[in-house]
Chains A and B, each alone.
Chain A
């Protein structure tokens, strides 16, 4: 029986080497043995992408991309389609989960210097994926055709009016003189297409990853065979364990707080004549939205917002420090965490109205807070990171992954040696 299977797989593999390729890339693929749990988020992102595509396809079977029926068809999914509420809440919360996973994945890359030589293209492909994800999420949010969908679409597409020939670009995007049926139709078409583009770039991302293998928490290259272990079973089980915990959190939102990340206004059907009092984008856009709003000039604001993402493309060259991991970069490590906190503050700013005043911040207005955090955001990339590359004194690196000899060595190993003695 099994020999028959082997014979068939050999026959196929001789002609189309997918089986040996998969074995090589997913099974034997040598991986640093010291990856911590922050390395789970890459595979999690891949799994979420698959779940989003599959749930999206099934939702598309019931959704109607017509302004007259879109809102009703979503309610039809929620009320009539068998298990429709599950599919929709899975997809809706999946978008938030996807961004949580990807943001952690990006922060991990920044902390451990995963964007540095020879992984610059790997990083750039990742930023491309982020951009595609943002476009996909934005267009997906328009589809339920609620008030936030409509006004979010209106405001975001109007960003393009900041550019030369802006009005013509915006009309081209809309396919009319306002966000309307043509807009919804094309957004649906593109929302269906983009995830497959993401899959394509993810493949490139993986090819680039497998060229030099994963970075690791020490940020040093592997030197000897015992530094590596095969991906399977070690990281497959670790990823599955991580998936279990992650799915638990995801399921909690789907079943018990499905609208936690959403806005009540999106349960009111789109009305082109009434703008809701507070328009806020989805939480994952809030930091960028804050940057847009904190600059009191239309073109400059749009450029700053776009620049906040595009600056990531240049990170491998802004950071000239040869040491990858923040473990051995005492100042970078502190600034990194300040940067993370700053991103959260930007998110907070984005969620609040610009003229709000915070008395616990000495009467600072939200606009001012946004301006300070915007400056800090860019200062991190443009000033702090390049300067640290020049002046930071890094701590000594360990000799190899298997022999960590820095700062008194591995504590656990030491105690084990003591116990043996």
Chain B
């Protein structure tokens, strides 16, 4: 008992020290109840499709998702024909052909989303020297993950606090490191119309696109959690059985 207690204390110290270590600004983020959080969390299919639409119509102008292939959109609930149609709306550079020339052709499901700029230098040149990052992994690559993305997207327009400098061409955003961001406020009322004719609010768009980006970073999440539940149940049963076998075997040993 005493030993268990000590172990618990040691683990607690460890956890706390790690939590504090990773903490910094994240506790103040705008927290959301994400459907994909928790041990049984799954992505909301409607949010995913809406989020994809917001990405396509707003973010995609500057940000790529180069690690996502059109075929993976089946996870969003699209069927094969819909995916082919979506892919056909993009052009990818392939080749060389028999004349040695690169050429454009309509994208296929096996192709990745073509990036908005030919390379990083072109991207910087088009954006005042700032590089719009690829969004394929963004929710894993930022402290705070989905909550950070949501906070950032909804964090524009606040009053600039006294003493905060905001340079020419930059925008104030309390969630961005340094609080000045080169990204133009991306979400505006009425910028997107969903297929049911509704016009989402900024918060709704931010929630949808964040869900989409969380999926893009971790497309394996639903399978992972599903297998995880099975693995944990299995290991609990295995441990219990081994405990019983152990008790039985050890009953022969004189204390």
A–B touch (CB < 8 A): the answer is yes
B94 on the A face (CB < 8 A): no
Partner of B228, one of A33, A38, A240, A255: A255
Residues of B within 8 A of A286 (CB): 21
Whether the Cβ atoms of A256 and B39 lie closer than 8 Å is yes
Stretch at the interface among A22-30, A195-203, A226-234: A226-234
Answer whether residue A79 sits at the interface, using C-beta atoms and an 8 A cutoff: yes
Contact with B along A380-403 (1 / 0, CB 8 A): 000000000000000000000010
Task: Name A205-234 residues within 8 Å CB distance of B.
Answer: 226, 229, 233-234
Return the chain B residue nearest A348 by Cβ: B17
- Which chain A positions have C-beta within 8 A of B227? 86, 255
A344 touches B140 (CB 8 A): no
Nearest to A344 among chain B residues (CB) is B13
Give Cα distance in the complex from A252 to B255, angstroms. 35
A241's partner among B133, B143, B239 (CB-CB below 8 A) is B239
Q: Give bound CA distance, A37 to B1, whole Å.
A: 12
Does B106 reach chain A (CB closer than 8 Å)? no
Does chain A have a CB within 8 A of B8? no
* A283 interface residue per 8 A CB criterion: yes
CB pair B242–A237 under 8 Å, yes or no, is yes
Contact B228 A264 (CB under 8 A): no
Residue A245 CB within 8 A of the other chain = yes
Cβ-based interface call for A248 (8 A): yes
A3 at the A/B interface (Cβ < 8 Å)? no
A233-B249, A264-B143 known; A255-B232 Cβ under 8 A: yes
List the B residue with the shortest CB-CB distance to A345: B17
Instruction: Contact check, A412 vs B255: say whether CB atoms are below 8 A apart.
Output: yes
Taking CB atoms, residues of chain A closer than 8 Å to B245 are: 237, 240-241
Q: B99 on the interface (CB 8 Å rule)?
A: no
- Flag if B254 contacts A244 (CB, 8 Å): no
Please measure, in the bound complex, the distance between the C-alpha atom of A244 and the C-alpha atom of B245, giving whole angstroms.
13
Assess whether A240 is in contact with B242, with CB atoms less than 8 Å apart.
yes
Chain A's closest residue to B4 (CB) is: A37
Count how many pairs of residues, one from A and one from B, have CB atoms less than 8 Å apart in the complex.
113
Residues A264 and B142 in contact, CB atoms below 8 Å apart: yes
Q: Of the candidates A79, A238, A267, A283, which one forms a contact with B140 in the assembled complex, judged by CB atoms under 8 Å apart?
A: A267
The smallest beta-carbon distance between B215 and chain A, in angstroms, is: 12
**A36 at interface, CB cutoff 8 A:** yes
Is A68 interfacial (CB 8 A cutoff)?
no
Number of interface residues of A (CB under 8 A): 51
Q: 0/1 per residue, B129-145, Cβ < 8 Å to A?
A: 00001001100111101
User: Which B residues lie within 8 Å of A245 (CB)?
Assistant: 239
**Considering the chains assembled together, what is the distance between the CA atoms of A339 and B21 in angstroms?**
21
Whether the pair B232, A252 counts as a contact (CB closer than 8 A) is yes
B5 within 8 A of A: no
Q: Complex Cα distance A390/B86, Å?
A: 79
A277 to chain B, nearest CB (A): 7
User: Which stretch of B42-50, B157-165, B186-194, B218-226 is in the interface?
Assistant: B218-226
Contact, CB under 8 Å: A277 / B235:
no
Most buried by B among A37, A256, A347, A352: A256
Q: What are 28 A-B contacts defined by CB distance under 8 Å?
A: A33-B253, A38-B3, A75-B136, A78-B220, A79-B219, A85-B224, A89-B224, A234-B253, A237-B246, A240-B242, A240-B246, A241-B239, A241-B242, A241-B243, A241-B246, A247-B235, A247-B238, A248-B235, A248-B236, A254-B231, A255-B225, A264-B141, A268-B133, A277-B177, A337-B6, A344-B17, A351-B21, A352-B20
Chain A residues packing against B (C-beta within 8 Å):
33, 36-38, 75, 78-79, 85-86, 89, 226, 229, 233-234, 237-238, 240-241, 243-245, 247-248, 251-252, 254-256, 258-259, 264-265, 267-268, 277, 280, 283, 286, 337, 340-341, 344, 347-348, 351-352, 402, 410, 412-413, 416
